[in-house]
Structure 1
Amino acid sequence: MKDGDSPLSQEPRNIYGGQAVIEGVMFAGKHVNVTAVRRKNNEIMFYEVPRTSQPFLQKLKKIPLIRGIVGILESSAKGSQHLNFSMEAYAEDETQSEDAPPAKTDKPEKSGWSLSMIVGVTVAGILSFIAGKLVFTVVPAVVEELLFGQTFSNRIVHNLIEGLIKILFLLTYLYIISLTPIVKRLFQYHGAEHKVISAYEAGVPLTVANVQRFTRLHYRCGSSFIVFSVLVGVIIYSFFTWDSMWERVYIRILLLPVVLGVSYETLRFTNALRDVPVLRFLGFPGLWLQKLTTKEPNDEQVAVSIASFERMLEIDRQMGKTA
């Protein structure tokens, strides 16, 4: 090994993803999902959940269009578990008295989570995602129909205006919530997650100084998926006609799985082309949106993200040897 090389630079570059949580970051490995959160006493606490998947789901993940929907729902379910864990830790810190003993670290089994709670949170995460997508799909269609339904008859123009309304709603929503302190910090951890993944993919040692040199924007981010779902929806909806507002809404609900599946494949395609100079622009809309959904993290937030990622890699290696 050459001077300055790290163990990371000697192993294949695997593809990893993550998610920002309250005061921390979750990373999804091949065998385990790990969340690290910084407690108020400045210690880092870990929550580790082995990854399990039914053979039936694994087969579905190999089918184009279908794999995107399965992956999205699975990510929503798993992400909700880790987000709720971080919220529990945050709430405990906020209500803990000064003379209470400090929170224990590295003891995920002490978090009080039971099987029934995990199942409940999983179901709630999936339902929340579906409800959010339905609202984001239905409301812009209704608003456009009410404002411009009788103005002209060109369906493509109607779909374009509907897409613009969706983007306007999205940008307004993200801007408003980003003004709250807790969401601003969440977006900082989102930026820290992206920086760590970029540093890992570049093969540099994961130190705070090295990680901070990388951009907070990343092509594989879920924010990019949101943009693609709007653009893909405009195209797909243009192949269908409607005679009333309710028929228009009905069509969009039925086509929602198709839009999600195609959007996922589009995101994979643009990510594969991100190193082609002429085609890099395909991923730009998602990167622009990330300027709202990510903020520059401080060194402590980057340190938490590094701790989560390295813990995930360590457990992945251990579980990989025993598999």
Structure 2
Amino acid sequence: MAYSFLTLAKDVLEKENIPLSIEEMWDTAKNLGLLEKLSSSGKTPIRTLSARIYVDIKNNPDTIFEQVCKRPAKFFLKGKTAGLKEYEDKQKQEKRHQKHKFGERALHILLSSFVNADEHFKCSTKTIYHETSKREKSGKNKWLHPNIVGVHFPFESYTENTLKLFDILKVNPYKLYSFEMKIDINLSNLREYYFQAVSNSSWAHEGYLVALHIADDPELIDEMRRLNNAFGIGVVRLDAEHFMQSEILFSAKEKESLDWDTINRLVDSNPDFKKFLDDLMEDIKIGKIKSRYDEVYLEEEQMYQYAQKNSILS
């Protein structure tokens, strides 16, 4: 039996598992080596592919194809709900990014203010600018740098005598945090973002993936829970209107020991991270927070005005 245009479309859509335009189907088929299987000698085979699909959808009640959008026209296989949902989530994400008038770093003060006041963290933070890192071979430092790092100082939690006892008993009352910041998280980007956080947070006691918008999707939450159980990175959802109502959706699994090899690599690579460690060591030495860390807001009204000014609430 001859290999038909409709069979080619079916094979391509099954392989890609997302809606595609006629042009995208054709290019994918070319990359997969499927065009050689066609027994067509027409001068405009891509138009033939388009015509066959449209005719099949219009005239065949048992067609396996459906048009899922018009501009541009894209087609998918009936019943492939998972792939279609992933595609729709990605489209929503792209539209949301297009309308955002702010970048991820505009959210840093929101996270810094929350973790500074929250009972679980009570930490001071430092933004890490990856642009300041040493230039390395392409890909070498991919997913190396966290967006924000933090340290919990126990100075306000324990008396001076207790801190001295910690020192004698070699108990560490300090805790280091790593945060990967995103604007939106949904099913289509969760795994990429999560493993980015896994990669650049391995050095800390606790690592977190943080976002302003997290899709209200039970399937997404279940996948987050599975990843958290397997890899230990926590998830924080920010609230720009009431920053103290930001919440830890999943707590990170605390590591007893630090990844010193990665810490050493970060120190060697990035001056911001080196300054962060220098500052926290100086503050530990003198027993109080004297160094400069990221700015925080103490009042929700301040944060609300900031969020309005930077279009974060829109």
Higher relative contact order (CA 8 A, sep 6+): 1
**TM-score for the superposition, normalised by structure 2:** 0.23
Structure having the higher helix fraction is 1
**TM-score for the superposition, normalised by structure 1:** 0.23
Larger radius of gyration: 2
